[in-house]
Structure 1
Amino acid sequence: MTYRPDIDGLRAIAVGLVVAFHASPALMPDGFIGVDMFFVISGYLITGIMLRDLKKGTFSIVGFYTRRIRRIFPALLVVVIATLGTGSFLLVGEGFARLVESVVAGLGFVANFLFWSQAGYGDALAATKPLLHLWSLAVEEQFYLLWPLVLAFSFRFRSGVVLSGMLIFLGSFGLCVVWTLHDPNGAYYLPFNRLWEPMAGGLLAMVGYSARGSIERNLCSLVGLALVAASFPMISTLEHFPGWRAVFPVAGTVLIIAAGPASLINRALVLKPLIALGLISYPLYLWHWPALVYARFWSLDRFGTFELSVVASLLAVSAAVVLAWLTYLLVELPIRLQRPSRVAQKLAGGWLALLVVSAGLWFSLPLLGFGVDKTEAQYVAELGRREGTCFMLDGKSNLPPECIDNDPDQTRIALVGDSYAAGFSKALRETPGLSVIEFTSSSCPFNLDFDFAIRPEQCRAINDERLDLILATQPDLIFIASWWQMGAEDDVSQLRNLAQSIQTLLDRTEARIVLYGLSPVLLRLLPICSQGK
């Protein structure tokens, strides 16, 4: 395959989106689609290279993995060693144990399975994991454990290459759509739901389609750009992603590649700054997340907040760019000039040694009292929130009977509000003499006839149902708690509406009303506090 500088420019766009998303989610809330673009680009390039070797009769599995080792390991080992070394100074206790755990998973290319097992509602620790981003590298390498073998086998049969690729593409895409409906976290992290994305690029390489004529090329590139741009209004959050919505960035990237370097959009992609950024896109991807995470820990120690200012985020990203260039110039380029087999053996040996040392450290930490005691899900479970039942996560009500404990011989208390109210559920239910009627919902305070930007229609309907439930059960006490700084367009109007909502309860019930004010917010995450950091 001939070198295409426009693809390096496309890499620059993809890594730029990811870095912007991680540095400022409010500024670039959909930047995570850059990972999907990377998957397509990788599938296209690597499948094309394998097909070239198969046609020449020079393809070998050993040769393929030798190239992968030379491409993946140099920057990966440097970043992992630097991250682990820095973490040994900044992190203590469980935080450092989690880092070592992620090092082992990252080097073993199973980080996606590790982080999937830890993910869930209230996964507040995500921003404290310096190697969280290695999940995508794991997915990619898991794909390349399967695809070269299938491609080499199917190449022997006429039309077998495209047929095998189509079967993987369709099967994975269908699974992704269904899985996203039931388990978005699993759909996001697990390889079975992601194989169709690099396969989309692989199919383009297999079919060999390239737009011809200026009109076809320009139309192809413009439609591709439009699809990528359409991702932003279509994909508002990770809640329903990837699923069918991932078609937009994937199809858009395929079309931009197919348009060829002479198309209108692709000519803009060959600007020197974009090509320069594209050349370091892989080491930049590896460096940027640890830089941002450690900058947050520095901010926590310095200013008592885990949130980064704009200046701090820019400094962290700038440091990542400098480190990426140094890695490219001092590590990646010199290694490319060495004999492939010999350097691959050295890199594989270094990788194995680091993996063994990290695994040994991981197993020894619990003996020193620094093990990973709890998952994020366990921390949330200890709060006693009945997620998905009495505490709604998706804006849907359908309250089950176990949420209505209406014992007339006890003091009946109705608990309403958002996740902050749900945090009181366990304590109230364990208090003798109380029967609890709970109707809490994520990001939905108890404000009647009031719209919140985060879920305008669902919250209004839920509050109507809450009022109906309170009027039907006539509790002795109504306990209202919420995060009162929800970010409504007008905080004053929200408070006025709250007063009106309480007046409605006073007029229509005989209940006493407890209104819990602003809940305290820990500046340091609970697991960090528990380890004395």
Structure 2
Amino acid sequence: MTANSGYRRDIDGLRALAVLPVVFAHAGLPGFSGGYVGVDVFFIISGYLITGILLREIRQGRFSLADFYERRARRILPALFAVLAACTALSWFILPPDLLEGYARSVLATVLFVSNFWFWRSSGDYFGQAAEWEPLLHTWSLAVEEQFYVFFPLLLCLLAGKRMGTVIAAVAVLSLCSLAASAWFTSAQPQAAYFLTFTRIWELGLGALLAAGALPGSRQRALVELVAAAGLVAILYSVVAYDAATPFPGVAALLPCGGAVALIWAGAQGRPAATRLLSSPVFVGIGLVSYSLYLWHWPVLVYTRLLQGSAELALVPALAAIGIALLLAWFSWRWVEQPFRHRGGFWDSRTALVRGGSAFALLLVVVAVVINAGKGFPERLPADVLKVYTEAVERTPVQERCMGRLPEQGLCRFGDGPAAGPADVLIWGDSHAGAFLPGFELWTSARGLTGLSAVKSACPPLLGVVRADKGESHRCDEFNRRVMEFLERRQDLGTVILVARWAQAVEGTPAPGEGGADAVLVPAGSSRPLPAGYGNAELVEQALADTVARVRATGREVLIVKGVPEVGFSVPVAVVNAQFVGTRLEAAPTRTEVEKRNRRADLIIETVATELDARHASLVPELCDPDCKVQEDGVPLYRDDDHLSTYGARRLVPELLNLALGEGPGRG
């Protein structure tokens, strides 16, 4: 079966089946946790349709790279440029300086179709919290497609004189290599696997193989009905069953991609029930505007979050944002996409298209460069607001320097004492421990102590545990092992302070309102699934007990600091928007809500501390009485939604440690 040139309503309907789960998942609607697989369905559709056109033109001897890229430009650029222009204007009035500067860089990456690389390096995790504030994050998929279509037409041209079997074999080998890379990277480098083109080529390749006739046709009605139904179920199951914790793309992407292939194949054999459903006016209508809807939905959601100060939208704002995106999508399709896709008028000639497109792209680049050079134009904010915001979100040089340092690299030192002499206390933990450092530095200096820090992002101080969601390269277990061996080799450091985001480690889920991916903990080196009923909480309890026991066995004191209250929204952004944009400051959680979130984590800490004669302390009584404080006199206590700001650390940490450690630690 090869792709034919006739219009297929069912493929437009399949576009609707692809875009709606993406929109609903990004809006946080329940039941669509795996909606991101819609992008993979789009890749299948693109590979199928574009390859069908290419093969037909090559076979007829009328293929032209210039014609091909002109069609791509008419299809992709007008709506994209409209979205970029609107987002840039809106960002000027909404985004604080650092976010606007980052946005400008993402505009450059988007115009050059390398935004997948940019977001891989800048945001890291597609499902992470930082990604929630990136208006152009979704353009990574456009970059993947355009990078694919730089070389793929050339490959088909090189194979033009060969038999179709040779073409199919070449595309199949390329796709298999890509799938193998995707499976490996998804395990070892999950963030790279999600964004990089080579780990996605196989998805476009599956569509290309289908267009090239790699699958034979069938006239058996029952078989066609079964394949179509199975394809629809495969996509829907992926949408419902997958979530941010699913290793993806890798092997898991075979299910939605296979479902899309099955539906396209079945639709070419006749009109099975699933195809008739996708050919209905509602699905076709949404499918027609699917590209514009994809472009508009994410910025609308991001700006709604920014104005509300929360990464998680309530149902009514989420539905309102979807409605606005649909309206913008229709206008964009009708008044931007259609005039440019169909020749006629001023844009009829290729010369006019190239000149107009180049001029607009250059304008976007110039604006982005100016914003970047101006570092987001901080003067847009009142001086007092800017000062508060900058001090809240910026990490100190100490924090930047100390995160992730191994003992053999020289742990950061704080307080009094010579650079290589003995030390009194070690603070050990994840990024929450890193956020404590400005206060830890103040405390050690005030008490005449010398402190060391061993801090690594997303790495709670738990021996023998890894964050599976961070991939094999994260090596949290290796970091903690080396810290423990460092302690066992030394005679000083009489007190060890353990700090982490314990609630996230125990529950595995982000805080209410936060968004982002789950934290998946597994035993280091484990290739077997955990026993039934044995999850994050049980693993944390065992690993914390093991860690404290080994530290106590060296004769040292241990202080476990319970989790800092998680706010659920970016405090600096909310504070600035309340003063700069005039939005309402989000209500902070109550002590009851914080204690509910931390109930299991606190119980584990208290149990381990009691059994192993360790101490524990908490900032909750100081911060939450009964509502939690997120600022003092307009100064944020947090740098985001859960990490203490520099001001917050200096304000809260010394008093906490004084109360918890009394006269202070000794050197052992």
- TM-score calculated relative to the size of structure 2: 0.67
* Counterpart AA for 2:264: I
> What is the distance in 1 between the residues matched to 2:64 and 2:305?
45
Change (3 A) 1:150 1:63: same
* Counterpart AA for 1:498: D
Change (3 A) 1:379 1:169: farther
> What is the distance in 1 between the residues matched to 2:142 and 2:604?
53
Task: Render the CA deviation track for 1:453-491: whole Å, top value 9, x for unaligned.
Answer: 765244344223223334323432413232566999996
**Percent pairwise identity:** 31
Matches within 5 A, 1:430-469: 431=444, 432-434=449-451, 440=461, 455=520, 456-457=535-536, 458-469=539-550
Shift of 1:90: 2.3
Change (3 A) 1:485 1:95: closer
Match of 1:248 among 246, 252, 255: 255
Is the CA contact (8 Å cut-off) linking 2:113 and 2:142 kept in structure 1? yes
Is 1:33 the counterpart of 2:33? The answer is no
Is the CA contact (8 Å cut-off) linking 2:266 and 2:272 kept in structure 1? yes
Match of 2:325 among 317, 320, 325: 320
Q: Could you say what secondary structure the match of 2:376 adopts?
A: coil
- Aligned residue pairs: how many? 511
Shift of 1:267: 1.4
Change (3 A) 1:404 1:506: farther
Shift of 1:321: 0.7
> What is the distance in 2 between the residues matched to 1:169 and 1:44?
14
> What is the distance in 2 between the residues matched to 1:233 and 1:217?
24
Matches within 5 A, 1:319-338: 319-338=324-343
Is the CA contact (8 Å cut-off) linking 2:278 and 2:284 kept in structure 1? yes
Is 1:517 the counterpart of 2:517? The answer is no
* Counterpart AA for 1:433: T
Which residue number in structure 2 is paired with residue 154 of structure 1?
A: 159
Shift of 1:349: 2.1
Shift of 1:213: 1.9
* Counterpart AA for 1:248: L
Matches within 5 A, 1:244-323: 244-260=251-267, 262-300=271-309, 305=310, 307-323=312-328
* Counterpart AA for 2:33: P
Q: Could you say what secondary structure the match of 2:70 adopts?
A: helix
Which residue number in structure 1 is paired with residue 186 of structure 2?
A: 180
Q: Could you say what secondary structure the match of 1:191 adopts?
A: coil
Which residue number in structure 2 is paired with residue 95 of structure 1?
A: 99
Task: Render the CA deviation track for 1:124-153: whole Å, top value 9, x for unaligned.
Answer: 432222111111111111111111111121
* Counterpart AA for 1:478: L
Is 1:351 the counterpart of 2:357? The answer is yes
Task: Render the CA deviation track for 1:178-207: whole Å, top value 9, x for unaligned.
Answer: 122221111111111111111110100102
> What is the distance in 2 between the residues matched to 1:149 and 1:174?
23
Match of 1:129 among 109, 125, 134: 134
> What is the distance in 1 between the residues matched to 2:71 and 2:543?
56
Matches within 5 A, 1:357-372: 357-365=363-371, 367-370=373-376
Which residue number in structure 2 is paired with residue 424 of structure 1?
A: 436
Change (3 A) 1:232 1:8: closer
Q: Could you say what secondary structure the match of 1:32 adopts?
A: helix
Change (3 A) 1:188 1:437: closer
Is 1:223 the counterpart of 2:235? The answer is no
Which residue number in structure 1 is paired with residue 147 of structure 2?
A: 142
> What is the distance in 2 between the residues matched to 1:466 and 1:331?
60
Task: Render the CA deviation track for 1:356-393: whole Å, top value 9, x for unaligned.
Answer: 22322333335545379x9xx99699646977788xxx
> What is the distance in 2 between the residues matched to 1:218 and 1:114?
43
* Counterpart AA for 1:463: L
Is the CA contact (8 Å cut-off) linking 2:15 and 2:42 kept in structure 1? yes
Q: Which segment drifts farther, 51-60 or 246-255?
A: 51-60
Matches within 5 A, 1:36-47: 36-47=40-51
Shift of 1:263: 1.5
Any stretches of 5+ residues in structure 2 without a counterpart?
A: 379-389, 414-419, 470-499, 510-518, 521-534, 569-591, 624-628, 646-668
Indicate the RMSD between aligned Cα atoms, in angstroms: 4.0
Any stretches of 5+ residues in structure 1 without a counterpart?
A: 391-398
> What is the distance in 1 between the residues matched to 2:236 and 2:148?
27
